[in-house]
Structure 1
Amino acid sequence: MNKKNILWSVKSKLILFFKMLFYIFSIFLAFWNFSIFVFIIFLVNIPILRKSIFGRLPNDPKTPTWKYAESVRYTEKNSLDIFYPDLERLNLTKFKGIVVFAHGGGWISGYRRQPNNLSWYRYLVSKGFIVATIDYTRGYKAGIEKLIDELIEAVDFVMKKFENQHKIALMGLSAGGHLALLTASRIPEKIERVVSYYAPCDLLDIWESPSLFARFASATTLKRLPRKSKEVYEKYSPVNNIPDNFPKTLLVHGLRDTVVPYVSSVKMFKKLREKKIPSKLLLHPYGSHGFEFVLRDEKTLDMIEKTAMFLEGDVW
């Protein structure tokens, strides 16, 4: 190899080296910027996250109300927890029903054993309900269809486990309420009732909200922005998915919600009424997102009690 070829080979290798270095630096920079963005969103939403994680119902029994609990696999990779009431202590001859519970967290965070979720389990179990709850796959790892499928699989597992002896209700908070409503629209014949607390029933409403976290979470889960893919947001909005046999529905929202505008639940309620689906809408005049874990007023207590009544079959 002559001197000219050697120089050319060295030059080519140096160019390749610096190209690789540039690509690595670009990837690092992109990841760094993304991390900073997520961190900023986290900081901005600390009050919301704090009450979502550590909040507690005003009528929370505070101590475990279940006779026993078990964790079982409902698919090869996924598990659910089941909490059983103590029928003898409650003076009941049978369970009042099964509540399959979906936690909140914007589809991308949260977990089934968060203190606030456990507060709901304790309360529902104290009322005589079996509670089954799952951790669905994070929205940034999977698409929205995967999350819905996991909730459907959980319902099927619970139905099989209890041999269809008990009526099943779906209940969810925020993003979990959204998933509960969508799941009910897919398998309405299997669901007796559905309860949705401050859920984005119209996903486009999130983009009218000042919450950066809500916008980031929806875009991350749907993998699209509404400006370019409005039809995707419409497709996965419960307000556009109401079959004629949709189950009885309870919607709960706070008028001061700055994460998911309360108008989202109002739209859903109106559509349900148009289709003559038995439904109720409870609005708290001072409630923000996750209000039931913060407020201790009579209105909040009444709404929680009415939730239990609705699940039992009383539409008051």
Structure 2
Amino acid sequence: MNLKVSFKVVVYVSLLIFSFLNFFIAFLIFFLLQIPFLRRSLLGKLPFDLEKKPWSRKISYKYKENLWLDIYYPKTDSNQIILFAHGGGWISGYRRQPNNISWYRYLVSKGFTVATIDYRYGYLNDIELLVEDISDAYKFVSEKFPKLKISLMGLSAGGHLALYFVLKYKPKVENVVAYYTPCDLLDIWKSPSLFAKFAVSTTLKRLPNKSKDLYIKYSPISYVDKNLPPILLVHGLKDKVVPFISSVRMYKKLRKMGNKAKLLLHPKGDHGFEFVLKDDKTREILEKTIKFLRGDLYD
């Protein structure tokens, strides 16, 4: 009897080890397949020659247990702060990645105060906890800077969290900017990117064929209503990670409900195109983003 029990234990432990190894190998394959995308996400920069430190000071704050944000203060007086959420498919990314810092340099050089945050990762946490982190960061910033107007901005997964938080919970914000964001999480399954599919299924802990309702529940497009703050959507038509149709359908629904919304599309842009392309169209999109954040809808 003991021998049988011991044998079962060995079998179960072996299966557990093999399951873990299979998961690790699968993740490694996904990672390697996405090296070009990850490289430009980590090391890319915007197509402008910017001062290395255009801010007067940078201060780090602990906005909740084990999570931090950095505040970049411009050298001139500022009346607006941008709460910035990095990308990374909900399962990776960091507020101090070189590509993110390139954005902070640009925004601060234009006179904005920037608060850039980290949030928990989806492979260990329920997606609701990631949204909670965005909410807590917003609360921290609004209480610390009660006289500043607040804008939310996010790249990819960070844009998803920013849009979802604003559309569902309706905090007081001036506007929202979302670059190449999955506004409908089901759209990711139309993408050729294995990384994107792995990231969303890992974060939601479900596949869409059995839990379609969960994907709908956490899609920002499900919460489009009237009287929303102005929203800018930016996407590349060659995006192989998040299909551009996600932003197009979001834009159409926002406008149909009477909201102020803008959609900027780059005809040659892939995911993270602003860190790779140096053309006039990219610069135009970035300049229009600044105008939008300042409240100019450039009609």
TM-score range, shorter chain: over 0.9
Contact 1:188 1:245 in 2 (8 A): no
Shifted more, 12-21 versus 295-304: the winner is 12-21
Deviation at 1:284, TM superposition (A): 0.2
Q: Is 1:118 equivalent to 2:107 in the alignment?
A: no
Q: Does 2:144 align with 1:155? A: no
| Structure 2 CA distance for aligned equivalents of residues 227 and 62 of structure 1 | 49
CA distance in 1, matches of 2:219, 2:166: 13
Runs of 4+ in 1 over 4 A off after TM superposition: none
Q: How does 1:93-242 map to 2 (within 5 A)?
A: 94-163=77-146, 165-242=147-224
Equivalent in the alignment of 1:56: 45
Cα pair 2:225 2:254 within 8 Å, conserved: no
1:39 and 2:28 are equivalent in the alignment: yes
Counterpart in the other structure of 2:59: 70
User: Which has more radius of gyration?
Assistant: 1
Work out whether residues 65 and 86 of structure 1, in 8 Å CA contact, stay in contact via their aligned partners in 2. Answer: yes
Aligned amino acid, residue 254 of structure 1:
G
Q: Distance between the aligned counterparts of 1:187 and 1:229, measured in 2?
A: 23
CA distance in 1, matches of 2:8, 2:171: 58
* Cα distance change of structure 1 residues 108 and 75 upon mapping to structure 2, 3 Å threshold: same
For 1:131 and 1:244, how far apart are their aligned partners in 2?
A: 28
Indicate if the aligned counterparts of 1:65 and 1:125 stay in contact, CA closer than 8 A: yes
What letter corresponds to residue 105 of structure 2 in structure 1? Answer: R
Q: How far apart in 2 are the matches of 1:170 and 1:132?
A: 10
2: CA distance between counterparts of 1:314 and 1:135? 29
How far did residue 141 of structure 1 move? Answer: 1.0
Instruction: Give the aligned partner of residue 6 of structure 1.
Output: none
Give the structure-2-normalised TM-score.
Answer: 0.98
Identify which of 8, 16, 19 aligns with 1:19.
8
Q: For 2:246 and 2:49, how far apart are their aligned partners in 1?
A: 28
Q: 2:154, 2:162 within 8 Å by CA — same for their partners in 1?
A: yes
State the 1:224 CA deviation: 0.8
Q: Which residue type is aligned with residue 305 of structure 1?
A: E
Match of 1:257 in 2: 239
The number of residues matched between the two structures is 298
CA contact (8 A) 2:176 2:229 kept: yes
Contact 2:85 2:116 in 1 (8 A): yes
Contact 1:272 1:279 in 2 (8 A): yes
Q: Using the alignment, how far apart are the partners of 1:162 and 1:211 within structure 2?
A: 40
Paired letter, 2:100: N
Secondary structure, in 3 states, of the residue corresponding to 1:74? strand
Return closer, same or farther for 1:170/1:143 CA change in 2, 3 Å cut-off. same
Overall identity of the aligned pairs, in %: 57
Which ranges of structure 1 fall in alignment gaps of 5 or more residues?
Answer: 1-11, 88-93
Secondary structure of 1:80's aligned partner: strand
Distance 1:78 1:98 in 2: 19
Name the residue aligned to 2:72: 83
- Tell me the amino acid that sits aligned with residue 270 of structure 1: K
CA shift, 1:43, in A, is: 0.5
For the Cα contact (< 8 Å) 1:174–1:197, is it kept in 2? Answer: yes
* Residues 34-71 of structure 1: CA deviation (Å, up to 9, x unaligned): 10000000000000000001000001515011100011
CA distance in 1, matches of 2:8, 2:204: 33
CA contact under 8 A between 1:62 and 1:119: conserved in structure 2? no
Moved more, 23-32 or 180-189: 180-189
Correspondence for 2:293 = 311
Letter paired with 1:276: G
Deviations 1:106-137 (A, max 9, x none): 00000100000000001000000011011110
2:270 to 253, 277, 288: 288
Q: Which amino acid aligns with 1:221?
A: T
Which letter does structure 1 place at the counterpart of 2:159?
Answer: G
Q: Which residue of 2 aligns with 1:9?
A: none
Partner of 1:5: none
For 1:145 and 1:191, the matched residues in 2 are separated by 21
- After superposition, residues 3-18 of structure 1 pair within 5 angstroms as 12-18=1-7
| Cα distance in structure 2, aligned partners of 1:191 and 1:310 | 13
Once the two structures are superposed, residues 287-312 of structure 1 have per-residue CA deviations (whole angstroms, 9 ceiling, x without a partner) of 00000000000000010011111101
TM-score by length of 1: 0.92
